[in-house]
Amino acid sequence: MVAAVCTEKVSHASTPRAVTMTDAERNSVVRAILGDADTALKPFPDGIRRVVFERHDRFVRPLIEAHWPESLKDRAGQKLRFLTCNLYATAPYTVLFSAPNPPWPVALSRVLGGGLRLGPAVLSSLAGLTARAVGTILPESTERRILVTAAFIATIDHVYDHCFDGVDPVERGRRMHGLLDGTWTPTDDTAYAGAFRLVRALHDAMAEGIVADDDRAQLARALTTLREYIDAEVNAMTGVPDPTGRAWRMAGVRGTIDGLVFPVWRFCGEAARQWMYDVSLFVQVLDDFLDAAKDAKEIRPTPVLSGAWDEVTLRDVWQRTLDGLVGLAEDSGITDSNWLRLVQETYRMMAIETAEAMGVGPAG
Q: What is the pLDDT of residues 299-323, one digit of tens each?
A: 678 999 989 999 999 999 999 999 9
Q: 79 and 120 in contact (C-beta within 8 Å)?
A: no
Quote the pLDDT of residue 1: 36
- Please give the domain boundaries of the chain with CATH numbers for all domains: 2-357 (1.10.600)
Quote the pLDDT of residue 361: 65
Quote the pLDDT of residue 8: 39
Give the phi and the psi of residue 14 in degrees, each rounded to 5: -65, -40
Q: 113 and 97 in contact (C-beta within 8 Å)?
A: no
Between CA 80 and CA 155 the distance in angstroms is 7
Between CA 195 and CA 159 the distance in angstroms is 7
Closest CA to 347 of 38, 52, 51: 38
Q: What is the DSSP letter of 70?
A: G
**H or E element: which one contains 270?**
helix 265-290
Q: 284 and 249 in contact (C-beta within 8 Å)?
A: yes
CA within 13 Å, CB half, 298? 15
Q: HEC profile for 68-133?
A: CHHHHHCHHHHHHHHHHHHHHCHHHHHHHHHCCCCCHHHHHHHHHHHHCCCCHHHHHHHHHHHHHH
Indicate the burial class of 241 (C-beta count within 10 angstroms; 0-12, 13-18, 19 or more).
exposed
Quote the pLDDT of residue 362: 64
Between CA 195 and CA 207 the distance in angstroms is 19
- 58-89 as b/e, with b when 16 or more CB fall inside 10 Å? ebbbebbeebbeebeeeebbeebbebbbbbbb
Please state, in angstroms and as integers, the Cα–Cα distance from residue 204 to each residue in 154, 179, 197, following that order: 15, 11, 11
Q: What is the pLDDT of residues 44-78, one digit of tens each?
A: 999 999 999 999 999 999 999 999 999 999 999 99
Q: Which residues of the chain have pLDDT under 70?
A: 1-13, 299, 361-364
Quote the pLDDT of residue 110: 84
